[in-house]
Amino acid sequence: MTPKRQLTLDFDHRTALGFDDFLVTTANNQAVDWLDQYDDWPGGVLLMTGPAGCGKSHLSAVFCQATGAEYISGTELDQCKGVGFVSRFFVFEDCDQGLTPVREEALLHLFNSVRERNARLLLTAKSPPSRWNIGLKDLSSRLNTVTQVPIHEPDDALMTALLVKLFSDRQLKIDTPVIDYIIKRIERSFQAVRTLVDRLDRRAMETHRNISVQFVGQIMRELDPTTQENGYGAGTNG
């Protein structure tokens, strides 16, 4: 699996799967490199962590396309405890959610099955295991040995690419000054980008207005009254 250094993440509006659309920056390059080397995962398990919308689901889908990996749902995991899965490659997303005693035991069984069969397991979570409320000590110990790779909040390059991509997906023509205006003022999070573009799209259709700097400023102040007309809004990260 050889990634191409371009663009797209996992978005509600349209999900494009494949590295052809994926922009690799310092925010996610470690994750991409580790996925490209799945034969070398220590213990056969990799855990990707990062905030909602950062691209974990997209990368999981690319991994499945490249390897034929089997998605495991929480219900499936609870019922068979990893014993009935036949693939050599597995993906279990949001593994930090719904950690009941049954789920914890099932996840531990899955770890053991992966190791015994020299299989590969890709896990995703919003936070590292040190922040999970794990009751099963054996599972906690096992998770401490897993290779963890973070996907960080977007840098300016990724923020720009995300904005361009989201506007393009909605067939909205945006000038560079609009992108520059947003980048200087928006909160550095994927959710903030998606929320803004969605609101701009809907309001532009409702009012039949072009998306200008003035229009963007109005919408940004509606979403966050601390957004300033000039300079950075309060509460942003630069």
Per-residue pLDDT of the chain (238 residues; tens, 9 = 90+): 444 333 333 333 333 445 555 667 778 889 989 998 999 999 999 999 998 777 788 889 889 988 999 999 999 888 876 556 677 899 999 999 999 999 999 999 999 888 888 999 999 999 999 999 999 999 999 999 999 999 887 778 888 888 988 898 888 889 999 999 999 999 877 778 889 999 999 999 999 999 999 999 999 999 988 876 644 333 333 3
Q: Write down the H helix ranges in the chain.
A: 29-36, 56-67, 74-80, 101-116, 137-144, 156-169, 176-185, 190-207, 213-223
Structure token pair of residue 231: 């300079």
C-beta of residue 111 within 8 angstroms of C-beta of residue 142:
yes
Q: Which structural domains are found in the chain, ordered by start? A: 19-150 (3.40.50.300), 156-223 (1.10.8)
Sequence-separated (6 or more) residues with CB below 8 Å from residue 111: 45, 82, 121, 139, 142
Quote the pTM value: 0.70
